[in-house]
Chain A
Amino acid sequence: MIPVELYIGLAVIIFTIGLYGFMTQRSGIRMLMSVELMLNSANLNLVAFSSYNADLTGQVFALYSIALAACEAAIGFAILMAIFRMKDTINLDSFNVLRW
């Protein structure tokens, strides 16, 4: 039985990597990938606590979250496709037309 602290430690590491990526990267696809990393670290937490507490609710939650992440990724990539068609780049810094 692997103690739950290790799972949490792994999740923290993955989350931090995701957060770092999100805050430093300029490419839309990389940012989306970072978001996926953060989401999955949260899923890992859910599953770890679920197994620790012998309660399946957390795992069901994780499944939900994965489905949501898939949807989000689909919409996100669609938006990026549209952006690329318009500006020939997916560098999000160049996308601030709604800014005052």
Chain B
Amino acid sequence: MAIGDFAFLIPLLPALAFVLTFFLGKKLPNGGAIIPIAAIATSFVISLLITLNLLQNPEEVITQSYSWFALFNVGVLVDPLAAVMLTMVTFVSLLIHIYSVGYMSHDAAPSRYFAETALFTASMLSLILSDNILQLFVSWELVGLCSYLLIGFWYQKPSAATAAKKAFLTTRIGDVMFLAGIVLLFADLFTIFNGTIPAGTYILRFDEIFAHIPEIAAINANIFGMEVSHITIITLLFFGGAVGKSGQFPLHVWLPDAMEGPTTVSALIHAATMVTAGVYLVARTFPMFIAAPDSLLVVAYLGAFTAIFAATMGIVMNDLKRVLAYSTISQLGYMMLGLGVGAAIGAEAVGVSLFHLINHAFFKALLFLCAGSVIHAVGTHDMRQLGGVAKVMPITALTMIIAAFSLAGFGIPGTSIGFSGFMSKDPIIESAYLFAESSGMWLPYLFSIVAALLTSLYIFRLIFMTFFGKPRTDYGGHESPASMTIPLSILALFALVFGALTRTSFYHFLEETFTNNFVNMDIPALAEMGGYHLASHAGHEPLLILWMPLIVAVAGLLIAYLVYGLKIVNMDNLVSRNNPVYKLLYNRYYQNEIFTDFFSVKVIYEGFAFASRSVERGFDWLVNWISDITIETGESVRQFQTGVIQTYATTVVAGVGLLIILIRVIMEVI
């Protein structure tokens, strides 16, 4: 049997681990952590073997489908795109689980934690493996549920419960759009088939969807007098789902609050699972996006805007984890931008974006786990109370600095020397440049360059404030146990060299995502349909453009060093309530005030309250009117009931007499 036949075990084993840990975990040491670790380790081995197998012959993807009900199926699809995601998710999740053994050792309910993270991983793996959009959606919702459970893991804390609710409701907005997209897609496909679908054809499977892109594109809808292709509507709705899940503006508000869960959960959400699902969805349905006019432009603009928007807020946060949260949003913006510039570079965009996704997973998991290590040791995540931690925790400090360099994107352009983050972020910025050159839209490129500067600035601010200088408070602390530092070291290794080692083979591998035995897409032809002009490229960029990302990264590092390392500027003057820019950033652009206080509470809540009050009043009036009428009628009619039997008898006789007369009259008339 080929290893590919075991692909279905990849999500199944963690799912089984969830059940076992949930029921037996309490009786086992460490909350039964060994069960999910073993299950995910096995999944990781299977994924790795499949990926290695697939590397040999990338055209031979694994696909298995079984009928589920009616026109739907459950199935497994492991193409290069899914394979790299599977390997990354299982790997990062495995390391996070091992790390959690140490991190959760003081917690009251480790078995619940491990059960939920196992389910979380299982849902994400099932999402990646889906060969049809419906199964993907089901897993998508399961991921949402697990994020709710894990963010609210410490549900006794009101802030955690609120954050969980917020995450669930915010992503729900996106999910509804995603579902609407699926329904519209299904309706269109049903129309295309004229309602007669041959047996064994599952119309929501990706190959069927992709095969009918031209027909879907031909269906037009009239929205406010504009002719819009259905494929544009569907892809924008899908992107709406991705916006919710991947924390893009304006649905990013839940991500920073998701910090309320254990730090390991933040690492899991921000690196391996959940937030990458949105990027994965867009990458998975990329042929649809490139065939849809303007959809990719929306993706590119929104991604670039999110990248810079979140980065500006990252600069002023004082909470260790919050800085990282905004960093995640910003980097997700980069990934979306990487997909969006597919308008200029075609199918390569998937490789560009996914490469950043994978590298980001490594260094962001590392950053969070390092932050967790610091928090675990010193018991605070306010950077203003820290400082000089590097002396106490050398391993954590070293690995975190590696991650910071990777995030900031340090490397030498044109060579394969550089941190992983450089290897993947640089191509995105270069692609944005190509996109700008071929389409004349420079905004995404400018955003991405400024965001790169800000990225470098906020992450080194974090490093200098936390690890260097003199301790600002007496926090004590000690280096974390080996179960925590070993995953850190492994991840640091990946953040250091993964990008450089796999760069060329990775792009080559992902190129086969849409040309294999499952689907065979002609991406340039689809781009033609979407009205995009693919640029012929490679190596034409001016020298300045090539070196620009590095220049801004070094500039960010220098500014951070001068301001937070040497303290040549007194930050207390700048950081004050009187500085309007600082105030705007520190209050996070007043999003909370706009979205929550104004939009949610005032407009929606008050609106609904008013509407329901009015309706209630209307119903109250009606109900009261009916009861009043009934009472009044009763009051007047009960006078007849005298209680004297003779009266009743008289009435009966009179009635019978009247009846006889009536009958007589009627008979006469007839």
Main secondary structure of the interface of B (DSSP, over half): helix
Distance between Cα atoms of A22 and B651 in the complex (Å): 13
Asked whether, in the complex, the Cβ of A22 is within 8 Å of the Cβ of B638, the reply is: no
Q: Which of B645-670 contact A (CB under 8 A)?
A: 645-646, 649-650, 653
Q: How many residues of A contact B (CB 8 A)?
A: 12
Is A99 among interface residues, defined by CB-CB distance under 8 A? yes
Distance between Cα atoms of A93 and B646 in the complex (Å): 9
| Chain A: minimal CB distance from B632 (Å) | 15
Asked whether, in the complex, the Cβ of A24 is within 8 Å of the Cβ of B643, the reply is: no
Asked whether, in the complex, the Cβ of B653 is within 8 Å of the Cβ of A19, the reply is: yes
Q: Which of A62-78 contact B (CB under 8 A)?
A: none
Is A31 among interface residues, defined by CB-CB distance under 8 A? yes
Asked whether, in the complex, the Cβ of A31 is within 8 Å of the Cβ of B645, the reply is: yes
Task: Note all chain B residues with C-beta closer than 8 A to A93.
Answer: 644
Distance between Cα atoms of A98 and B649 in the complex (Å): 17
Task: Note all chain B residues with C-beta closer than 8 A to A24.
Answer: 646
Is A53 among interface residues, defined by CB-CB distance under 8 A? no
Asked whether, in the complex, the Cβ of B650 is within 8 Å of the Cβ of A100, the reply is: no
Task: Note all chain B residues with C-beta closer than 8 A to A19.
Answer: 649, 653
Asked whether, in the complex, the Cβ of A23 is within 8 Å of the Cβ of B644, the reply is: no
Is B579 among interface residues, defined by CB-CB distance under 8 A? no
A-B contact count (CB 8 A): 22
Asked whether, in the complex, the Cβ of B643 is within 8 Å of the Cβ of A23, the reply is: no
| Chain B: minimal CB distance from A45 (Å) | 15
Task: Note all chain A residues with C-beta closer than 8 A to B578.
Answer: none
Distance between Cα atoms of A96 and B641 in the complex (Å): 10
Is B415 among interface residues, defined by CB-CB distance under 8 A? no
Task: Note all chain A residues with C-beta closer than 8 A to B638.
Answer: 100
Distance between Cα atoms of A23 and B643 in the complex (Å): 14
Task: Note all chain B residues with C-beta closer than 8 A to A31.
Answer: 645
Is A79 among interface residues, defined by CB-CB distance under 8 A? no
| Chain B: minimal CB distance from A61 (Å) | 20
Distance between Cα atoms of A19 and B656 in the complex (Å): 13
Asked whether, in the complex, the Cβ of A23 is within 8 Å of the Cβ of B646, the reply is: yes
Asked whether, in the complex, the Cβ of A99 is within 8 Å of the Cβ of B646, the reply is: no
- Name A99's closest neighbour in chain B (CB-CB): B643
Asked whether, in the complex, the Cβ of A100 is within 8 Å of the Cβ of B641, the reply is: yes
Q: Give which listed residue, A23, A92, A96, A99, contacts B650 with CB less than 8 A.
A: A23
Task: Note all chain A residues with C-beta closer than 8 A to B641.
Answer: 99-100
Asked whether, in the complex, the Cβ of B643 is within 8 Å of the Cβ of A96, the reply is: yes
Is B504 among interface residues, defined by CB-CB distance under 8 A? no
Distance between Cα atoms of A72 and B641 in the complex (Å): 24
Distance between Cα atoms of A31 and B645 in the complex (Å): 10
Most buried by A among B642, B649, B653: B649
Asked whether, in the complex, the Cβ of A22 is within 8 Å of the Cβ of B649, the reply is: yes
Distance between Cα atoms of A42 and B641 in the complex (Å): 29
Distance between Cα atoms of A24 and B650 in the complex (Å): 10
Q: Which of A8-54 contact B (CB under 8 A)?
A: 19, 22-24, 26, 31
Distance between Cα atoms of A99 and B653 in the complex (Å): 21
| Chain B: minimal CB distance from A59 (Å) | 25
| Chain B: minimal CB distance from A23 (Å) | 5
Question: B: which residues have CB within 8 A of A?
Answer: 638, 641-646, 649-650, 653
Given contacts A23-B649, A96-B642, A99-B642, 15 further A-B contacts (CB under 8 A): A19-B649, A19-B653, A22-B646, A22-B649, A23-B646, A23-B650, A23-B653, A24-B646, A26-B646, A92-B645, A96-B643, A98-B643, A99-B641, A100-B638, A100-B641
Question: A: which residues have CB within 8 A of B?
Answer: 19, 22-24, 26, 31, 92-93, 96, 98-100
